[in-house]
Structure 1
Amino acid sequence: MEDVYIIGGLRSNIGLKNGIFKNMLPEKLGGEILKCLVGRYDLSEIDEIICGNAVGTGGNIARLMTLYAGVSENVPAYTVDMQCASGCACIDIAFSKISSGQCDLIIAGGFESTSMQPARIYNKNDSRYNEENPIYWTAQFSPNEIGENVMLKAAERVVQKYNITNEELNFWILESHKRAKLARKKEVLSDIILSLDESNYDEGIRDNMNQRLINRMKPLLFKEGKITATNTCLINDGAAFIALCSKKFIQENKVKPIAKVVNTSLIGVNPLYSPVSAMKAADKLIKSVRLTYESISAFEFNEAFAVIDVMFEREHPRLIDRYNKFGGALAYGHPYGASGGIIMLHLIKSLQSVSGKYGVCAIAAAGGIGSAILIERI
């Protein structure tokens, strides 16, 4: 296998649904980040662009984005939909194609606009078609379940199965915002964030987050439930891309990489308990390379629900200072197709901040799929 390196990456600010990017076409949002990434690192002879997108208009929107960005029409681009894990899946595919010797330079990541998510309607021949209420927003992820709240239900099931307490959940709501606000104050992420369309902040970070506000939140699904609007990520718009390359590319172009991709993993779990897949994917990955959790200097888990944080803390209580060092999706948000690229960029920054060696990012996806990636800082 060939070694695979990360040259660098960029992300947009993360906007709320109908927020700072509400009027920006998703393909243009992604295209601006792509164009600036190509320009910043003077990337030519790109072999492929692999792009995650979960709720866009379809029709290989990655190709449309690439053309909007002004990248040569000779560069192929294609869209990957693994829902929340789409961005990580793209990095995973890029790793495989470069390590196998098929490619030397790939840009991978994703973009999302929930503000412009198109309404969908099942065909009238489909048994799922509902004449009285034909529009649906959430695809079917499991043969045994369909509806708009399937991910919330999955998180609630995890809470019940593992007897997760409100106190455990509340800690991570406050901690995520605390860490994100401190990172913003210190501008530790400023060099990987590109301001677009006069956007200059991550819209989801709530300065007023406090225990009193948390206590006022009502359960989203059931009267006795514990999943609320504060321990669940918001709905967002954003884009993030990473440039990955071979050792040959580095030598020929005299590029200095910032990290090396060591290995990746994918795992399937019961889709009714999908949030557990992030931890399961990380377990599989770390075991595959014969490392231990203690040997990992930084972790970035996509914080779609605070239950994901609690599961990490229960297994590795002594490592929580290495976990989501700059806050997670409870603060920043979760623009589905872009989140894999976002957490990879944050992971690299976290490793750099502590001069660490190994870092792991992991993400849980609808349908019960977990994705994880191990990198080594250079």
Structure 2
Amino acid sequence: MKKAVIVQAKRTPIGKQNGIFQSLQPHELAAPLLEHLASGIEDQIDDCLLGNVTGPGGNIARLSTLTAGLPLQVPGVTLDRQCSAGLEAIRMACYYIQGGAGQCYLAGGVESPSTSPFPKRARFSPDHIGDPDMGVAAEYVAQKFGISKETQDEYALLSYHRSWEAYKEGLFTEEIVAVERHSRDEEFSKERNMSALLKRAKPIFLKNGTVTAANSCGIHDGAAAVVVMEESTAHLLGYKPVLRFVDSQVAGVHPHYPGSAPIPAIQTLLKRNGLTIGEIDLFEINEAFASKIAACAQEFLIPYEKLNVSGGALTIGHPYGASGAILVTRLFYEVQRRKNARFAVAAIGSGGGVGVAVLFEVVKR
């Protein structure tokens, strides 16, 4: 079987809804990213897979490749697995390479809630099951797994400090491709007293709940993508592979508990590959809500020292379809800063109760 490797990974800055990217359509956000990643290998690219959730519909991937000036023979396909879409795109590209369908893919996701033509979210689940908004579902996860507001706030504060520390150390600089001269995540324009905010914040989804605006992510615009190559091809083209795709798993849970969906996905993935939590050096699990991260960490006994080590969506934001690709981008650079990392997992849960987890092996240098 052919081996798929990640050889490049980049993202745009993340902007607040109606913020720095308020006038950019999804393809206008994705195009600079694709142009950068494709530079020098334009004729090698078999396809471009992009996740997207909020529209405007159509084949955003194809429109983005054309806008980026990629060769006309790069077709493009857009997919929607809600918040898992960007990670799903990378997962699919890896399987295409394993199956011999091609040798080089651009894969990731893009989201622009600022320009979405849809005033309401899509339906996640039929009425007879129940279709809670994601905030309410985050409350259900907190209730099911016994996650207190204090535990959520503790994690949110840790994530916030980690994000700002990483930003101040310049760790995000290497991840980012500037768009319209913006080269910094919008949330880093001003540091806040997060401890005070967490203490003041009240439940916003359920009257006696635990989920607040301070321990939840915001709504954001952004894009992220990677270059996935067949390993021998990567070497021939002069690339140094960083992450080697090992395996992946998708799981479904009750739509009331989408934040818990990474749990069975990770559990099945590790069991099938004969690995334990202790053998995974880094986890990136999307921080849509602190209740979700605390539940996943609690169920697996994942030490916070190896989980979202540079913060995540609770601070920089959650541009739905792009977030899964942001997780892989984060792993791509973090493993290069570590001498002995061997395995890494990216995982995300999404509306409707779907979880995606991907296992990577760090390529030895």
Taking structure 2 as the reference length, what is the TM-score of the superposition?
0.95
The answer to whether the 8 A contact 2:16-2:220 is kept is yes
Tell me the residue number matched to 1:30. 30
Distance across 2 between alignment mates of 1:220 and 1:271: 20
- SS of residue in 1 equivalent to 2:240: coil
1:84 aligns with 2:68: no
Q: Any conservation in 1 of the 2:10–2:329 contact (CA below 8 Å)?
A: yes
Could you say which residue in structure 2 is the equivalent of 1:107? 106
Partner of 1:289: 273
Alignment of 1:54-73 (within 5 A): 54-73=53-72
CA–CA distance in structure 1, aligned partners of residues 267 and 301 of structure 2: 15
Contact 2:52 2:109 survives alignment (8 Å)? yes
How far residue 317 of structure 1 moved from its aligned partner, in angstroms, is: 4.3
| Counterpart code for 1:188 | L
Shift of 1:234: 0.4
Deviations 1:112-155 (A, max 9, x none): 10110112xxxxxxxxxxxxxxxx511111113677x6111111
Shift of 1:251: 4.1
Question: Which amino acid counterpart does residue 264 of structure 1 have in structure 2?
Answer: S
Q: Which runs of 5+ in 1 are unaligned?
A: 120-135
What are the ranges of 5 or more consecutive residues in structure 2 without an aligned counterpart? none
Matches of 1:181 and 1:296 in 2, distance apart?
25
Counterpart residue number, 1:175: 158
Deviations 1:231-287 (A, max 9, x none): 111000001110001134124323221121111111111111111002221112111
1:374 aligns with 2:351: no
CA contact (8 A) 1:177 1:209 kept: no
Task: Give the length in aligned residue pairs.
Answer: 360
> Within 2, Cα distance between the matches of 1:47 and 1:186?
36
Tell me by how many angstroms 1:60 deviates: 1.0
Moved over 4 A (4+): none
Structural mapping, 1:263-278, within 5 Å: 263-278=247-262
Shift of 1:160: 1.4
Aligned CA RMSD, in angstroms, stands at 1.5
User: Separation in 2 of the partners of 1:346 and 1:140?
Assistant: 30
Are 1:187 and 2:170 matched, yes or no? yes
Normalized against structure 1, the TM-score is what?
0.92
Deviation of residue 222 (structure 1)? 2.1
What is the Cα deviation at residue 81 of structure 1?
Answer: 0.5
Percent sequence identity over aligned pairs = 36
Q: Find out whether 1:302 has 2:296 as its counterpart.
A: no
d(CA) in 1 for partners of 2:287, 2:74: 33
Distance 1:257 1:239, change over 3 A: same
User: Partner of 1:260 in structure 2?
Assistant: 244
* C-alpha distance in structure 2 between counterparts of 1:251 and 1:240, whole Å: 24
State the partner residue of 2:345: 360
Equivalent-residue separation in structure 1 for 2:236 and 2:151 (angstroms): 51
Note the C-alpha offset of 1:192: 1.7
Amino acid at match of 1:13: P
Q: Determine the C-alpha separation between the residues in 2 that align with 1:101 and 1:263.
A: 16
Answer yes or no: is the 8 Å Cα contact 2:249–2:356 preserved in 1.
yes
Q: Contact 2:215/2:314 (CA < 8 Å) preserved in 1?
A: yes
The amino acid across from 1:362 in the alignment is A
Note the C-alpha offset of 1:7: 0.9
Q: Give a deviation string over 1:327-378, Cα, whole Å, max 9, x none.
A: 0110111101111110101112222222211100100010111001111112
Do the aligned partners of 1:348 and 1:359 also contact (CA within 8 Å) in 2? no
Deviates more, 1:191-200 or 1:266-275: 191-200
